[in-house]
Amino acid sequence: MKTKQIPALTALVLVACSLAMLGGCKKEEPATVSVNVETPKVEFVNAKCPIMGNPINPAKVPANLVRDFAGQKVAFCCAACPPKWDKLSDAEKTAKLAAAQ
């Protein structure tokens, strides 16, 4: 009977020692670096879309909805407007932009 208890006792001691060793292991968290990057504030010359007349929210205008004209940034309300703007002459763009301010 004692011979059956020895392997079981040995196994129990080994498990207890293994758990004790694993309990001492600490999970290392990767170092985090905090970087504050400010998005440059883009100011648009227009308050409304020069093509459709919809209001422009400067905080939500993606780069693909912006065109440069006469040294100024012009914003548009949707993806359909910039191609229409691109087809206009400079005189037409000036008139549309004046109406959109």
Read off the pLDDT of residues 7-42 as tens digits, 9 standing for 90 and up: 666 666 666 666 666 666 566 666 666 665 555 677
DSSP-derived letter for residue 39 is: P
Identify the CA nearest to 82 among candidates 68, 100, 98: 68
**Tokens in use for 72?**
């100024």
pTM of this structure = 0.59
The average pLDDT across 46-73 equals 95
Quick one: pLDDT at residue 3?
60
CB-hemisphere CA count at 13 Å for 45?
Answer: 16
Q: How confident is the model at residue 1 (pLDDT cuts 50, 70, 90)?
A: low
CA-CA distance, 63 to 44, in Å (whole number)? Answer: 12
